[in-house]
Amino acid sequence: MKLFIEDTLQSISLLEDKKDMSFCLEQFKNLSQHPDSEIKLFVSEIDNYLACFRWISVDNWKIDCPVSLNKIHKQRYATEEECIQYIEQLYQDSDIDNIEDCIDVPIRHFTLDEMIEFKEEDEMMLQGQDPYQDESQMSSTNPKNKNIAEQKEKSDIKPKEIKPKTSKTEHPDKLKPKTEKVTKRDNSSVDDNSFFQI
């Protein structure tokens, strides 16, 4: 199997032809902890890799296996120990379907993190739960949602009630509407044609 090794901290960028599994595992274990550190495995074509193992954070790696290059990729996060097991499996049969818990990611439109979030929402809805119901409770169980809940709390602040302003020169009692006393006219003595009489 061919290997491409990228390690910017150690200034390594090389392509190795037909290296065995022990060499690959040794190189994988020696990669520096840097977001650009990765190792790619190729079966034959250099344009289409079989799997890529990229360092994300301490004991957290991203596995990327293209199903259709630059369209659909099987991806997941894994520990260093899981990556070693997957590298051993790929050396045995070169079958990416053996990598468990992968998510099909349309990489032109979404990231792995977004697809994981979509999957969690779907599972909640299938169980009859509303994934958007109470995000403050979600934040206590899932640290990713903490910022969402905090933003929602900030947006729930009610604006101050605005009262009508009174003029400084006028007294508030003067602003009340005035009621006038209306007296009823006696219409019994009025002639209907009185209007026309001059």
The pLDDT tens digits of the residues spanning 58-72 come to 999 999 999 888 899
The pLDDT tens digits of the residues spanning 75-104 come to 999 999 999 999 999 998 888 887 788 999
For 172: left if phi > 0, alpha if psi spans -120 to 50, otherwise beta; the answer is: alpha
**Is 123:72 a contact under the CB 8 Å cutoff?**
no
pLDDT band at 110 (very low <50, low <70, confident <90, very high): very high
Task: Delimit the domains of the chain by residue range.
Answer: 2-107
The pLDDT > 70 percentage for the chain reads 67
Q: Which helix (H) or strand (E) segment is 118 a member of?
A: helix 112-126
Distance CA 18, CA 39 (A): 14
pLDDT band at 129 (very low <50, low <70, confident <90, very high): confident
pLDDT for the residue 16: 85
Distance CA 104, CA 137 (A): 29
pLDDT for the residue 69: 83
pLDDT for the residue 165: 54
Please give the mean pLDDT across all residues of the chain: 77
**Is 63:102 a contact under the CB 8 Å cutoff?**
yes
Residue-level length of the chain: 198
For the cut 60, the answer to whether the pLDDT of residue 172 exceeds it is no
Quote the tokens at residue 25: 């595992």
